[in-house]
Amino acid sequence: MLTLRFIRTEVEPRAANPAGKAESSQGKKFSTNRLRRHGQTRFCFVLTILLLSASISGQAASARSTMPQDRFGSPITISVTAWRQVDACAPFNSRIWAQSVFDDDPAGNRALDPDGDGLACEQLPLGIAPALWTDQIPAYAIPVELIRVDDGDTIEAMVDGRHERVRLVGIDTHENGGPYQPVECYGPEASDFLTRLLGIGGRIAVERDREDRDQYGRLLRWVWADFGAGEVYLLNEALVRAGYAERFRDTPNRRYVDEIIAAEAFARGHDLGLWGACDARNPGRAVPPGAPAPATTRVPGAPRAGCDAAYPDVCIPPPPPDLQCSDIPDRHFRALPPDPHHFDGNGDGIACEGSG
């Protein structure tokens, strides 16, 4: 009979860093040593094998190598290769977390992918990954009490005794629908996921960057969560890494911009969330079932009848009237000079990017 005993050991928490974002890896690659400590110092898994050699009736019982019984009392057999992966994947609670560690050092973490297909810990749920550069919420982040989730990138919370709407800065999720906005591809999924995630409970804190509020009066914050499992999550980054959000490119709030860029590259590289479900040329629209992946841009040519040539990726009529982003269903498309509808407010060549 084989008994799997899990023993968790705690490590001393690191001293709080009063200097601010020294904990972040801004401008640096994720530390492989930091990633490996998930399986070496934070968790210690001890495998104890007990052999029972005789039964009450006196019949000899041969030693067997089996997994623990399932909930119906039946023994679960498993191959040696799978055993090795179970042991290697034990420190992780999600595929995204394990895959992030694996991608950082495939050779050093090959035990996470014993079949060599490039996918780590395939038996785990997809989930999300904790912050890979720190295991502590910054000491200067302000604890808040969650009231509700409005959508995929906005929550309501009690902050310093005031009821505030808090916009997760540096990211953008697709619209969840409303009086003036259509439902966009993967918008409801992002909202539902954040609602379920924060419904777990735990400690939430917010961290200010350069801007305090947006034009709608919402606080602009990096939002941290500690669910009591020994890891912390920067929700802004975690949502991007899991494919529920994309990076917001026009923002002065750049404290964790390197982490957000790396998270988006990871999600896009693995076709996670919206990157696999939505039209790459027009992220607000879903890819029809069975349709090939569309190109990110259309080959320029003669303007289509009734469509303004300043917007070559979509069909938008020229003024008048003068349209706003809220008047059209399209998002994140090219805007060329002279941009007659003024969709590209920051002049970066991308129209209707949202707020953040």
Give tens-digit pLDDT for 197-218. 999 999 999 999 999 999 999 9
User: Residue 199 region, left (φ>0) first, then alpha (ψ -120 to 50), else beta?
Assistant: alpha
pLDDT tier at 176, thresholds 50, 70, 90: confident
Q: Which of 155, 109, 165 is nearest to 132 (CA)?
A: 109
Provide the pLDDT for residue 323. 84
Contact 89, 112 (CB under 8 A): yes
The percent of residues in the chain predicted with pLDDT above 70, rounded, is 67
pLDDT at 182: 85
pLDDT at 310 (0 to 100): 87
Cα–Cα distances in angstroms (integers) from residue 205 to residues 58, 136, 220, 273, 354, in the given order: 62, 11, 13, 26, 24
- Split at pLDDT 50, 70, 90, the class of 52 is very low
Is it the case that residue 243 has pLDDT exceeding 90?
Answer: yes
For residue 57 the two structure tokens come to 């009736």
**Region 81-105: what's the mean pLDDT?**
86
Nearest-10 Cα torsion for 237, 269, 354, 252 = 50
Q: Tell me the two tokens of residue 163.
A: 């009821």
Average the pLDDT over 166-178 and give the result: 92
CATH 2.40.50.90 fits 142-277, yes or no: yes
Contact residues for 107 (Cβ-Cβ < 8 A; gap 6+): none
What is the pLDDT averaged over residues 73-97? Answer: 71
- Please, which residues bridge with residue 4 across strands? 47
First to last CA, the chain: 56
The number of residues in the chain equals 356
The closest alpha carbon to 354, from 335, 332, 338, 336, belongs to 332
Mean pLDDT of 16-21: 42
Task: Report the b/e string of 19-45 with b at 16+ CB within 10 A.
Answer: eebebbbeeeebeeeebbebbeebbee
Of 140 and 316, the one with more pLDDT? 140
Say whether pLDDT at 286 is over 80: no
Structure confidence at residue 129 (pLDDT)? 97
Q: Average pLDDT, stretch 168-186?
A: 87
Between 98-112, 167-181, 188-202, the lowest mean confidence (pLDDT) is in: 167-181
Between these two residues, 308 and 193, which has the higher pLDDT value? Answer: 193
- Of these ranges, 127-136, 310-319, 335-344, the one predicted with the greatest mean pLDDT is 127-136
Mean pLDDT in residue range 103-116: 94
Q: Which residues are catalytic?
A: 167, 175, 218
Q: Quickly state the pLDDT bin for 268 (edges 50, 70, 90).
A: very high
State both tokens at 272. Answer: 């996670």
The mean pLDDT value for 28-34 works out to 47
Which residue ranges make up each domain of the chain?
2-112, 142-277, 299-356
Q: What is the mean pLDDT of the chain?
A: 76
* Nearest partner of 294 among 317, 275, 266, judged by Cα: 275
Reported as a pLDDT band with limits 50, 70 and 90, residue 258 is very high
